[in-house]
Amino acid sequence: MNSTLTFRHGIHPEEYKELSEHCRVERMPFVEEYILPLAQHLGAPSKPLVQKGNKVKRGQKIAAANGFVSVALHSPVDGTVTGISLAENPNGQMVQSIIIKADPFSTQQLTPSIPKSYEEMNVKEFIASVQDAGIVGLGGAAFPAHVKFSIPEGKTCRYIMLNGCECEPFLTSDHRTMVEYPDDVMDGIRILQHFLKAEKIFIGIEANKPDAINILHEKAKNSGLPVEVIPLKVKYPQGAEKMMINAIIAKEVPSGKLPLDIEALVTNISSIAAISQWFRKGQPLIERIVTVTGTAVKRPANILVPFGTPMRDVVELCGGITSEAARILLGGPMMGMVQKSLDIPVVKGTSGILILTSDEVKDLSQYTCIRCGRCLEACPMYLNPSLLGMLAKKGLWEEMETNHILDCFECGCCSYVCPSGIPLVQSFRVGKSIIREHNAREKEKEKV
């Protein structure tokens, strides 16, 4: 299946989807202990509702949202709270976490608390309900879904776009969601459309997933909804929201603006399935599909994993790693985070566990920039990564901001194509962090 719809620039790395794309979703058995960070979404960490010694049930709310940009957290298992203490998060930080010892007789059954029918809700109640279900963007960023669905006064949502691209190499969890849970996807669309009333709904899927395209196309045809499945050219980062908008409706989100500024809203396809599971079954977000893959994994698979499960247990379910294993990544190879061990928990943003051999890990030797211009041709945001890299090296943060570094979403295309091995994205992260901190301080001064 071919498609020419896409955006300009970008790259096409080797896909490696064949390792797991046909692996049906398996359910992870319960393990002995779960570690649930209170900060596993963007925004304020959740606020604990339990104490050491409390008995909890699978699906029970154990932490409440602590502000608008925050979501609730639920227990993935029947068990006992053994502590609330600092534990290592996948981002490397030590964060407050609820530790639960699983009841050895815990079942996969929920004690559901089904919210009232969405047809009886107004928009405000719907937004509050999605927040209470703990639903976030499952593409990896873990941005609270209810914030994205809150349309500010004066704005309209003319187009809803569901991101089924999964353009990162290796990852196949969204692919399996579309193939195995298409009814949940369509039902989630129906629920969201009830409130947002978009003129058109697009499901964008890269053309290397013909089974998902065909299944959802048939479901959409009989749904009675204004849904259209759009096959997109296989290219990275086709799943980035600004790239998807550009490919489907040929509009560009202006610098510093959001998709809603051009009447579009983009959300991950697995998050939409989670909305259906909440309103139909009363199941909050307590688990997700994780792709365990890479040439150093003995049995690549797609596993439905309860949050808080140590990654070591998940990998062991897949037969463990080979003796050639050299690097662990959470997420895909382009935007994933390198991990020093598997002794950290699966959280809401864990789309994949990728383990590579030394032959696949790029040599980190750096050489001088040769002005070849490949990074300019690859950057989907039309930035000048070469120039920005030099400014970062000299600590010229203000000049970096002038050259639109804050538009960079760290896709890694520039680093991937750089023949000199310059870690451009890493220097951009440092620069963006310093600029944001400086800007925040300036705002505080203005308030005083």
**Per-residue pLDDT tens over the stretch 161-204:** 999 999 999 999 999 999 999 999 999 999 999 999 999 999 99
CA nearest to 176, candidates 302, 274, 287: 302
Rounded to an integer, the average pLDDT of 95-106 is: 94
Q: Which residues pair with 9 in a beta bridge?
A: none
Q: For 148-157, how does the pLDDT look when each residue is reduced to its tens digit (9 = 90+)?
A: 999 999 999 9
The answer on pLDDT for 104 being more than 70 is yes
Helix (H) and strand (E) counts in the chain: 13, 17
Torsion angle, alpha carbons of 133, 136, 138, 140, to 10: -140
The answer on pLDDT for 107 being more than 80 is yes
Residues 6+ apart with CB under 8 A from 2: 207, 231
Looking up tokens 């943060």 gives: 397
Contacts of range 118-126, beta carbons closer than 8 Å, 24 or more positions apart: 118/191, 118/194, 118/195, 118/279, 119/194, 123/195, 126/195
pLDDT at 170: 97
Distance CA 235, CA 380 (A): 11
Are 357 and 324 spatial neighbours (Cβ–Cβ below 8 Å)? yes
The answer on pLDDT for 112 being more than 70 is no
Q: Say whether pTM exceeds 0.85.
A: yes
Are 84 and 96 spatial neighbours (Cβ–Cβ below 8 Å)? yes
Pairing between strand 25-27 and 227-232? unpaired
The answer on pLDDT for 319 being more than 70 is yes
CA angle at 84 for the pair 57 and 109, rounded to the nearest 5°: 15
Element (H, E) at 179: helix 173-180
Phi-psi region for residue 296, left (φ > 0), alpha (ψ -120 to 50) or beta?
alpha
Q: Is the peptide bond before 169 cis (omega within 30 degrees of 0)?
A: no
Q: What share of residues in the chain are helix, strand, coil (percent, to 5)? A: 30, 20, 45
pLDDT at 363: 66
The half-sphere exposure of 290 on its side-chain side, counting CA atoms within 13 A, is 32
